[in-house]
Amino acid sequence: MEVSRDLIKIFTTICGLIVLLSYIYGIAKMEEPSKLWGGIPESWQSYIVPFMFIAAIGYLIYWWVALFQMDQLTLNGLNWPWADGDGGGMERLALAYLLILIPSSLWLESTNFHISNNYSWTPMLVIGTLFLVAVGNIMLGLLAYDAYLEGVEGSGWMIIGSLMLASQCIVNDLLIWSLKFPW
């Protein structure tokens, strides 16, 4: 199966909606949605919530530049900074989005499962889910950085977008939330 720009657009649009719906559904069915904050102090919540929106804007910036601004040849040339080009940029981009969107749609449900059952293995499920999202985010950043090194127009915006996304996905979710959650 060939990975095309249109396929990634469709995948990211559908999965992005699934992520939003999973949050709406998950929060609506929880008895105490405030438990999702775990050990995050209430005073920190007002700091973290704006970063959720910053991350969403960063995701959309990256998505727009990569899938609507770049030409096909440039997308195919997206690479890791340490590797030689092989024309597999679309596959790398698709993998990065897959690692962000699929686990993101499962995070709230896995956290709710942990809260409801408290099995010894459920923290690894939740942290593993957040770790996969962080890996996908790092992959987006590396692709953007290589594009920047190659002088690709718009790559600076992609770096900014991936950093905005990282502020939530890596810093607030994987690191702070995971460390503060009462496992």
Count of domains for the chain: 1
* Half-sphere exposure of residue 68: CA atoms within 13 angstroms, side-chain side: 10
Average pLDDT score over residue span 73-96: 94
Contacts of 97 (CB under 8 A, 6+ apart): 8, 11, 12, 15, 136, 140
Residue 1 has pLDDT above 80, yes or no: no
Three-state secondary structure readout of 131-166: HHHHHHHHHHHHHHHHHHHCCCCCHHHHHHHHHHHH
Task: Name the band, by pLDDT with cuts 50, 70 and 90, for residue 183.
Answer: confident
Residue 39: inside a domain: no
Using the predicted structure, report yes or no on whether residue 118 has a pLDDT greater than 90: no
Question: Whole-model pTM?
Answer: 0.94
**Domain around 67:** 5-31+47-180
The answer to the question of residue 41 being in a domain is no
Count Cα atoms within 13 angstroms, Cβ side, for 130: 22
The model's confidence at residue 135, banded by pLDDT at 50, 70 and 90, is very high
| Residue 74 domain flag | yes
- The predicted structure's pLDDT at residue 77: 94
With respect to residue 36, please indicate whether it lies within any of the assigned structural domains.
Answer: no
State the sign of the Cα–Cα–Cα–Cα dihedral 41, 46, 51, 53.
positive
Classify residue 175: in a domain, yes or no.
yes
Q: How many CB atoms lie within 10 A of CB 183?
A: 15
Query: Percentage of the chain surpassing pLDDT 70?
Result: 100
Q: What confidence score (pLDDT) does residue 124 get?
A: 96
